[in-house]
Structure 1
Amino acid sequence: MSLGSTRCVAVTGIEGTLVDVEADTGPGLPHFGISGMPDTACAQSPSRVRAAITNSDLPMHGQRIVVNLSPASLPKTGAGFDLAIAVAVLAASQTVPAEQVAGVVHLGELGLDGTVRSVPGVLPAVLAAAAAGVRTVVVPVANAAEAALVDGVEVVPVADLAELVRRCRDLHRGRAVEPRPIPEPLRTYDEQGPDLADVAGQDEARAALEIAAAGGHHLAMIGPPGAGKTMLAERLPGLLPRLTRPQALEVTAVHSVLGELGDRALIDRAPFVAPHHGASMSAIIGGGTGRVRPGAISRANRGVLFLDEVPEFRRDVLEALRQPLESGRVTVARGQGMVCFPARFQLILAANPCRCGRRVGRGEGCTCTPLVQRTYLAKLSGPLLDRVDLQLSVLPVSRAALRSGPGESSAVVAGRVAEARERQAHRWRRTTWTINGAVPGALLRESAWRLPAAETRLLDSSLERGSLTLRGYDRVLRVAWTIGDLAGRERPGPDDVLRALAMRGRIPEVAA
């Protein structure tokens, strides 16, 4: 009887937990079993491991093999445990030196020919391994670039099982091992991106987009088809500053779990996610059968979630956005437990004024019935819109706007946004917040930051009449501070407060 062990990582959401993989070989009828709450893919690992070891010309004795994945109470999902299970079995049978693999994390799926194939979630797994003190991680070659993003960990890319066995034997004998080069990752986003100068006219909408970018505010645009709502939304990521390294690692980890990273580099630009209006609840919020996967709101973490034709989305899907908008996280509950994903995104909503989109001005060209006109935008509930800082109507582009020439480029506007964010970061440097859009309203109403009563008189009056909720009151204050930051003022003035209140104009069809 012989024992062998190594380590792997179980990823739940984007959080990893170190797993000890123990293998016991002994006499008895041929059997290969796995304990420790494996899912279907993990429970099928013995078939892949047995074939991979045999086809790699390594000894695979027909004996009783038991593999335990500890902690046993933690669910193990996916085929990423294949390599660790194979290494533990080979260590138990003394095919590889046990001391060379005992403290090493092994990640990867095995092909029947012994090749080590890529798996999703390698980045959060390596982050968890590094946090637990692991210093060597063996990964598939295809996942080496993302694993190398983690500092303080030696990443060993391997192409097949036989190569890994040779490496372990050479290290045990004291021989020099030439490391396999890590593939150079590709850039994730084009540095240029769509330019704001391509948008004709729409001065008010452009100003609202700049304010949204500077303060991290949510934005809703209502206007006819062809007015430029989608073009404006697509250009918001180009106005946002680059992500910090911790933010970039968090964003990249979500894409790694989804298997969308491939050979791309660290995602250090704000992502832009625009799901179709027919998307399901699990596609937007997260979930799914079997393994819980991040939804669109988590893919848009630290970036922009754009819902075009928002009245066409299911109402329950739209209402489910309310909690993540407040907390910046989403919790998906399942029978086996709860999974948390980050969901700190900027929400951009776009909609036509009615189903046919022609209800502009007098609405003479509109073909919608009065009932359709009243109910089309009613799917945007008051509680959801109350969480949207900027709400404006986008008018059709005029001929004069076409002749006026291009407006400011994204680079120029992004420069002002960066300066405004620096002012915010300096102002809130003693707190956990860095932008106005995330600052609690209670803080802005405290004595140190409270604006004079003369400047908030109209705002106070709106709250007293009930036309503005306390949440809306706080959001107007946040926008006012952002407008002041863009203008280079230390504190917002009365005009900034009035402008912020005006840019929160409720949509009449919804407020009715």
Structure 2
Amino acid sequence: MAFCTVLSASVQGLGVEMIRVEADVSNGLPMFHMVGYLSSEVKEASERVRTAIRNSGMKLPAKKIIVNLAPATVRKKGASFDLPIALAVLAAMGYIPEEAMERVIVTGELSLEGKIRGVPGVLPMVIGAKEQGCKSFILPGENETEGRLVKGIEILPADNLEELCAYLNGAARSEKSQREKKENEKNRQHRAREDFADICGQKAVKRAAEIAVAGGHNLLMAGSPGSGKTMIAKRIATILPELSWEESLEITKIYSVLGLVDHEYPLITQRPFRNVHHTITRTALTGGGRIPMPGEISMAHGGVLFLDELAEFPRNVLEVLRQPLEEHQIHIARNYGNFTFPAEFMLVAAMNPCPCGNYPDVQKCSCTPGQIQKYLGKISQPFLDRMDICIETPKVVYRDLNGERKDLEGEETSETIRRRVTDARNIQRERYKGTDIRTNAVLGPQEIGHYVELGERERKMMELAFERIGLTARTYHKILRVARTIADLDYSEKVKEKHLKEAIAYRSLDKKYWGR
């Protein structure tokens, strides 16, 4: 009779649950039985493990083998338990010394010939192993570069079961070419073909986009088809500030769980830009499933979520954005647990003002008042209140396209705009040092009172705007946040009257189209 325990890990949402793989080999009716609240793919591991062990030159005796994955209250899914099950069984039979598995966590899928295949979610597993005080992590060779993103824990890559068993028995590990990449992975980033210099005219819209990126504000663009809304939105990705190491790791962790990282260059060094089609479901947007996985909202964390043709989205899909836009998190409840995914993203939306797109030009618009009202009615007032900046994109005139206007000579490039955005973000980073605040967009009411000080003239202006425009408490605070960002772009310590005027102007679109 022999018994051995090997540590592994299971990704639950973005969290990690440590799993104890217990193997017991004893005399009795020959069998390979597994227990512990297992999904079908985990139950199938018994056949993969037995065949992989046999094809690796080792024999399983005709004995009773029981494998338990504890705790039994946690649902286990995926093929990442193949390798820890195999090592637990081999250690119980004496093929591997038990002391070699102390404070070691194992993950990996086994092929029938004994090769070790890559698995998703390695980065959060390694982070969790380090936090639990483990000294080593055995993982597939495909996931080596991803595992080495975490410092302070030994990474032991393995390509097949036979070589791994030989190493655990004291054999020298073959020095294969290390897959560690240079720290300067950001130089590998592809240069975007899009540039703000490609956009002729639309200076007011480009200014609004710059302010939105500088402060992390939500942006709504409305205008007729062909006015450049989508073109501007896609170029927003070219002026986003660079990611810090912590932000890169946080975003890579999300994509690792989804199995979307590059095995050679796993670290995500560009801010995500997610372009969502209007046929998307609520679950795909927010995340979910039997064991919830991140959705598009979380995949846009730290970057931009772009909704083109906003009014074409089902209203119930748009309404689920309200809570994450306020709390910058998405909460999913299941009967066996609650899951929280990060959702600190910048929402950019583009829409036509009516089904034909020509409203309010009554000469060209072919829509009835009822059709226009129904179309705009898909955007609720609470959703509209959560858009910090609303701007109309006017039609492009021929002179702009033909380059006849002298004031359009030498359109600003994305790099020029990005430098100003970076300066504004650096000002915010210094201002909010020591707090959880990253940008002006996430300032709460109390923080606004502390960081956005208004003089007497500015207070009277806001009081007048509040009464005449009919602002809500939410839109009032939105204006102050945007004004704070405009002041940062102006390198001004205080929010002045001109900054407030520009911020208030970005609330005029909802009055024009919605009359709210």
Alignment TM-score, normalising by the size of structure 2:
0.94
* Paired AA for residue 367 in structure 1: S
Letter of the 1:161 partner, please give it: L
| 8 Å Cα contact 2:196/2:412 also seen in 1 | yes
What one-letter code is carried by the residue in structure 1 that aligns with 2:491?
A: G
Q: Contact 2:452/2:484 (CA < 8 Å) preserved in 1?
A: no
Q: Which residue of 425, 443, 446 maps to 1:442?
A: 446
Match of 1:411 among 410, 415, 429: 415
The residue identity in structure 2 corresponding to 1:287 is G
Cα pair 1:59 1:95 within 8 Å, conserved: no
In the TM superposition, residue 53 of structure 1 has moved relative to its aligned partner by 1.1
Aligned to 2:292: 292
Distance (whole Å) between structure 2 residues aligned to residue 54 and residue 491 of structure 1: 73
Shift of 1:260: 0.8
1:380 corresponds in structure 2 to: 379
What is the distance in 2 between the residues matched to 1:7 and 1:52?
Answer: 20
**Which residue of structure 1 lines up, in the alignment, with residue 399 of structure 2?**
400
Q: What is residue 153 of structure 1 aligned with on the other side?
A: 153
Give the deviation of 1:184 after TM superposition: 5.2
Partner in structure 2 of residue 41 of structure 1: 41
Partner SS for 1:126: helix
Question: Retained in 2: the 8 A contact 1:5–1:20?
Answer: yes
Quick check: 1:181 aligned with 2:177?
Answer: yes
- Match of residue 284 from structure 2: 283
Checking the alignment, whether the CA contact within 8 Å between 1:455 and 1:497 is kept in structure 2 is yes
Percentage of identical aligned residues? 39
Select which of 418, 428, 431 maps to 2:432: 428
CA distance in 1, matches of 2:301, 2:51: 41
Partner of 2:275: 274
Show CA shifts across 1:174-222 (max 9, x none): x433344343567674244521111221101100111011111110000
Distance 1:501 1:196 in 2: 25
Q: Shift of the alpha carbon at 1:118?
A: 1.2
2:202 pairs with 1:202: yes
Q: How many Å separate the matches in 2 of 1:44 and 1:184?
A: 33
- Asked if the contact 2:215–2:482 (Cα under 8 Å) also holds between the matched residues in 1, the reply is yes
Q: Is the 8 A contact 1:480 1:499 kept in 2?
A: yes
* Counterpart residue identity of residue 44, structure 2: Q
CA distance in 1: counterparts of 2:72 and 2:167, whole angstroms: 30
1:177 is matched by which residue type in structure 2? R
Deviation at 1:150, TM superposition (A): 0.7
Cα distance change of structure 1 residues 20 and 511 upon mapping to structure 2, 3 Å threshold = farther
Equivalent residue runs for 1:152-171 within 5 Å? 152-169=152-169, 171=170
Letter in 2 for 1:375: K
60-69 or 408-417: bigger deviation:
60-69
SS of the residue 1:379 aligns to: coil
1:333 aligned partner, one-letter code:
A
Letter of the structure 2 residue corresponding to residue 73 of structure 1? T
Deviation at 1:345, TM superposition (A): 0.5
1:390 is aligned to: 389
CA distance in 1, matches of 2:446, 2:340: 27
What is aligned with 2:364? 365
SS at match of 1:260: coil
- DSSP-derived class of the 2:508 partner: coil
Q: For structure 1, which segment, 199-208 or 263-272, has the greater mean C-alpha deviation from structure 2 after superposition?
A: 263-272
Cα deviation code 1:46-103 (max 9, x no counterpart): 1211111112221112321111222222222211111111110110111112111232
CA spacing shift, 1:462–1:40, aligned 2, 3 Å: farther
The alpha-carbon distance between structure 1 residues 21 and 181, as it changes in their structure 2 partners (threshold 3 A), is: farther
Alignment of 1:50-129 (within 5 A): 50-129=50-129
**Do 2:392 and 2:509's aligned partners in 1 also have CA atoms closer than 8 Å?**
no
Q: Which moved more, 1:45-54 or 1:479-488?
A: 45-54
Number of equivalent positions: 505
For the structure 1 residues 311 and 449, does the alpha-carbon distance in structure 2 shift closer, same or farther, using more than 3 Å as the test? closer
Matches within 5 A, 1:471-482: 471-482=474-485
Partner of residue 233, structure 1: 233
Report the equivalent of 1:461.
464
Distance 2:329 2:5 in 1: 36
Residue type at the aligned position of 1:491: K
Work out whether residues 382 and 511 of structure 1, in 8 Å CA contact, stay in contact via their aligned partners in 2.
no
Q: 1:367-416: CA deviations, max 9, x gaps?
A: 32322111112111110111110001111111222213451111101111
- Unaligned ranges ≥5, structure 2: none
Change beyond 3 A, Cα 1:511–1:179: farther
Distance in 2 separating the partners of 1:390 and 1:202: 16
DSSP 3-state at the match of 2:298: helix
- Check the 8 A contact 2:13/2:291 in 1, yes or no: no
**Partner secondary structure for residue 235 of structure 1:** helix
Residue of structure 1 in register with 2:504 after alignment:
501
**1:285 is matched by which residue type in structure 2?**
T
Structure 2 matches for 1:297-336, cutoff 5 A? 297-336=297-336
> CA–CA distance in 1 between the matches of 2:410 and 2:172?
62
Amino acid at match of 2:464: S
Alpha-carbon separation, structure 2, partners of 1:152 and 1:218: 38
Deviation at 1:486, TM superposition (A): 0.5
Name the CA distance, whole Å, in 2 between partners of 1:460 and 1:89: 73
> For residues 177 and 301 of structure 2, what CA distance do their matches in structure 1 show?
32
Are the equivalent residues in 2 in contact too, given 1:39–1:75 (CA < 8 A)? yes
- CA shift, 1:466, in A, is 7.1
Matched residue type, 1:208:
A
Q: Distance in 2 between matches of 1:277 and 1:406?
A: 36
Offset, 1:14: 1.3
SS at match of 1:268: coil
SS of the residue corresponding to residue 8 of structure 1 reads: strand
For the 8 Å contact 2:144–2:179, the answer to whether it is kept is: yes
Q: Could you say which residue in structure 1 is the equivalent of 2:22?
A: 22
Specify every segment of 5 or more residues in structure 1 that has no aligned partner in the other structure, as ranges: none
Inter-partner Cα distance in structure 2 for 1:182 and 1:439: 45
CA 1:34 to 1:358, structure 2 compared with 1: closer, same or farther past 3 Å? same
Residues 1:250 and 1:426: Cα distance change in structure 2 (over 3 Å): same
Q: Deviation string for 1:4-46 (max 9, x for gaps)?
A: 1211111111111222211111111122222222222222211
Give, in whole Å, the separation in 2 of the partners of 1:55 and 1:30.
19
C-alpha contact (below 8 Å) 2:49/2:86 kept by paired residues: yes
